[in-house]
């Protein structure tokens, strides 16, 4: 099978289009014929090995898994022993730690759910990591609810575009922060108010919010806190930062400050669960959630796709189609 493979950390040029053996599903696994796979900034950081702290998890000298990608949608090609919930021919979407930028991927059965009937494989592939991050941040961490005001920075990006819709589904009043070219997009996703960061600074408008999901972290914590209510919740959610520790410095600062203020400063790391994927599938099926796809690329264009991700400013998700 064809796959995008890397043998060392580096820029997108380290990716090679290679022929490798089709993996065999183990006990409790499913072999998926990949129809589409989405990528996000985390995939870019793992590919480059920067910030260097990612190498502690993914391999010190080179990536332990040479195939990038985590999210996928496709058709079940074969099932391993003891798998009864899925059968060959089923359309599924979910996530895999084995790499998804390939024609086939082995996935634990608990990491997959059926594709809603109203979604294409490309749309389904765009969902898992980014939408689950938005869901867990707003529902589990911030506990957003009707009547609350929620501000989302990076509202037109991968996580942000899902977050706007999920906050609305939770009943919140949503303010989206984006650039001029994305104002119409975030309004179409349900944002009640829009702040164009090219002409206004949300930390200086005098408006305060119950919840801020900061997907950009372009402002100091002290400035963002000015836009929080006295007991509001700030969730920093960005992988940016120095080349050694990335966002860890900001995370430590947030934890320390939390001990001296009534405001809740809560960095978090999302953890994929099947229950949350089923929740997202329900939101998709009822059209409360719609994936935004910026660009699609072929598998042999994976390097270009990751280069585009690395440049920032995507509108929604970037998807590889096979």
pLDDT tens-place string over residues 167-212: 999 999 999 999 999 999 999 999 999 999 999 999 999 999 999 9
pLDDT band of residue 246 (cuts 50, 70, 90) is very low
Q: Would you kindly state where each structural domain of the chain is located, as residue ranges?
A: 2-127+291-321, 129-265
What H or E segment, with its residue span, contains residue 293? strand 293-298
What per-residue confidence (pLDDT) applies to 192? 98
Report the DSSP pairing between strands 209-214 and 228-236: parallel
Measured distance CA(63)–CA(279) in Å, rounded: 32
pLDDT band of residue 244 (cuts 50, 70, 90) is very low
In contact, 315 and 292? CB cutoff 8 Å = yes
User: Per the omega criterion (within 30 degrees of 0), is the bond before 51 cis?
Assistant: yes
Determine if the pTM surpasses 0.85: yes
**Rounded mean pLDDT of the chain?**
92
Least confident of 83-92, 151-160, 164-173, 249-258: 249-258
Q: What CATH topology corresponds to 2-127+291-321?
A: Quinone Oxidoreductase; Chain A, domain 1 (3.90.180)
Record the tokens describing residue 183, joined without a space.
Answer: 């104002």
Q: Spell out the residues 6+ positions from residue 184 whose beta carbon is closer than 8 angstroms to its own.
A: none
Residue among 152, 250, 243, 143 nearest 192 (CA): 152
Helices (H), ranges, the chain: 41-48, 55-58, 121-125, 128-135, 158-169, 183-188, 221-226, 248-258, 274-285, 302-311
Indicate the SS3 state at residue 38.
strand
Measured distance CA(85)–CA(309) in Å, rounded: 35
Record the tokens describing residue 82, joined without a space.
Answer: 């003891």
In contact, 129 and 180? CB cutoff 8 Å = no
What H or E segment, with its residue span, contains residue 282? helix 274-285
Q: What CATH topology corresponds to 129-265?
A: Rossmann fold (3.40.50)
Indicate the SS3 state at residue 299.
helix
Indicate the SS3 state at residue 222.
helix
Residue among 85, 81, 89 nearest 35 (CA): 89
Find where tokens 């289009």 sit. 17
Record the tokens describing residue 91, joined without a space.
Answer: 């359309």
Measured distance CA(111)–CA(72) in Å, rounded: 10
Measured distance CA(127)–CA(100) in Å, rounded: 14
Query: What backbone phi and psi angles, to 5 degrees, belong to 207?
Result: -80, 140
Measured distance CA(312)–CA(163) in Å, rounded: 18
Least confident of 58-62, 157-161, 189-193, 281-285: 58-62
Question: Cβ of 235: how many Cβ atoms within 10 Å?
Answer: 23
Residue 115: Cβ-neighbour burial (10 angstroms; 0-12, 13-18, 19+): buried
Which of the given ranges, 117-131, 226-240, 266-280, has the highest pLDDT on average?
A: 117-131
pLDDT tens-place string over residues 89-130: 999 999 999 999 999 999 999 999 999 999 999 999 999 999
Record the tokens describing residue 310, joined without a space.
Answer: 């690395």
Residue 113 pairs in a beta bridge with 93
């Amino acid at each position: 099978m064809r796959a995008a493979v890397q043998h060392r950390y580096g820029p997108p040029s380290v990716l090679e289009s290679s022929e490798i053996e089709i993996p065999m599903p183990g006990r409790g696994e499913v072999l998926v014929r990949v129809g589409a796979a989405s990528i996000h900034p985390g995939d870019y950081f793992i590919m480059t090995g920067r910030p260097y702290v990612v190498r502690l998890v993914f391999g010190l000298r080179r990536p332990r898994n040479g195939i990038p990608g985590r999210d996928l949608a496709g058709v079940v090609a074969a099932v391993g022993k003891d798998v009864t919930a899925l059968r060959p021919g089923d359309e599924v979407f979910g996530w895999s730690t084995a790499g998804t930028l390939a024609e086939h991927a082995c996935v634990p059965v608990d990491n997959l759910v059926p594709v809603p009937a109203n979604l294409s494989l490309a749309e389904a592939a765009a969902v898992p990591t980014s939408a689950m991050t938005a869901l867990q941040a707003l529902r589990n961490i911030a506990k957003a609810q009707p009547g609350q005001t929620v501000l989302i920075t990076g509202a037109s990006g991968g996580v942000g575009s899902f977050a706007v819709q999920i906050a609305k589904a939770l009943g919140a009043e949503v303010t989206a922060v984006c650039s001029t070219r994305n104002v119409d997009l975030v309004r179409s996703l349900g944002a009640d108010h829009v702040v164009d960061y090219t002409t206004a600074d949300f930390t200086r408008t005098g408006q305060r919010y119950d919840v801020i999901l900061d997907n950009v972290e372009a402002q100091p914590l002290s400035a963002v806190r000015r836009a929080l209510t006295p007991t509001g919740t700030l969730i920093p959610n960005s992988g940016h930062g120095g080349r050694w520790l990335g966002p860890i410095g900001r995370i430590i600062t947030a934890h320390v400050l939390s001990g001296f203020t009534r405001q809740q400063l809560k960095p978090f790391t999302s953890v994929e669960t099947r229950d949350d994927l089923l929740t997202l599938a329900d939101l998709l099926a009822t059209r409360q959630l719609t994936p935004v796809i910026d660009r699609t690329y072929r598998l042999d264009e994976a390097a270009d796709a990751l280069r585009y991700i690395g440049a920032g400013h995507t509108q929604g998700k970037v998807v590889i189609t096979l």
